Amino acid sequence: MNHCRHCWTLASLSIVLGVLVCTGCPGMRIRDAQDQVRIIEDLPYVSGSLDPKQRLDLYLPKDRQDFPMVLFVHGGFWRNQDRRYYQAFTGLHGNVGVALAKHGFGVAVASYRLLPSASLADQLIDVAAAAHFTVEHAQEYGGNPHKLVLAGFSAGGHLIMSLCVDPARLKQVSAEPSVVRGCVSVSGVLDIAAMAAGQDAEFNKEVTDRHFGTAREGLPRFSPIQKFSAQMPMPLILWAEKDYPFVKQAGHSAVEKVKSLGLIPHAKELAGHDHADMVLRINSKEDQVTESVVAFLTSVMNQP
């Protein structure tokens, strides 16, 4: 199977377009939530940047102050998608912001520069900058600058976990490392070597080799799971029952890694879901992700 084509091009969205004729379609659910959720779009998180990818949108609970903040980073195998990826049709990725804001969390949903024009280093710089902006401007929008969780789906899960396991990159987020209370991987790509082994030659040529190099023995250094430690912010690892095998494998391995560190793992496999469902179903009647994420956020945000 050519997983390279699972980056959700227009062709892969043809079925989803049918929701436009239905009441309660994903895009409408976001607009209908505006009586509960304040939405502010297109904030540049890099000062002076004119790059549309260096922007984020805020989803904030109304009539609340001092709420914890979440930064959410989208997927797309590092080369596709955006913070509002065909949002009128799919709900992405405002559905994440709305779902969490309804539960009292402020959410920044960020874009980042994409492969092939941007390197992995560029993307990590962007995510760290978006997190830093979220912390620095939290009070301006009613949020708590001392409580942040990083969250990401698929490739976004890889990017945020790469920050969470690296103390130097966390310092780019805030001068106070304790500000980052936790890290949420939603079907995140945590093991790059396993991904390369599980994908076909075309995908590896177009994505793995370009982004992580052609030397397979060097891939583990790009894999967040290799750098888990007791000092990192608490992780939540979620994956789908029908997920990519390399995502499921990494999820189970992450649980064992956390146990080996003497910690209690926060992890769950979502029954009946596939990889795309993990983000597409958020803020819908079929949503099983938000409940797990909110329980985790509540736990880590309430810690002193």
Note the pLDDT of residue 177: 81
Mean pLDDT of the chain: 93
3-state secondary structure of 144: strand
Note the pLDDT of residue 303: 87
Cβ proximity of 278 and 186 under 8 Å = yes
Rounded Cα distance between 69 and 59, Å, is 10
Note the pLDDT of residue 24: 56
Note the pLDDT of residue 242: 98
Q: Residue 197's closest CA among 206, 187, 208, 186?
A: 208
Note the pLDDT of residue 304: 81
Note the pLDDT of residue 10: 45
Please provide residue 135's backbone torsions phi and psi, each rounded to the nearest 5 degrees.
Answer: -70, -50
Q: At residue 24, what is the residue type?
A: G
What are 66-75's pLDDT values in tens digits? 999 999 999 9
Low-confidence ranges of the chain (pLDDT < 50): 1-23
Note the pLDDT of residue 15: 41
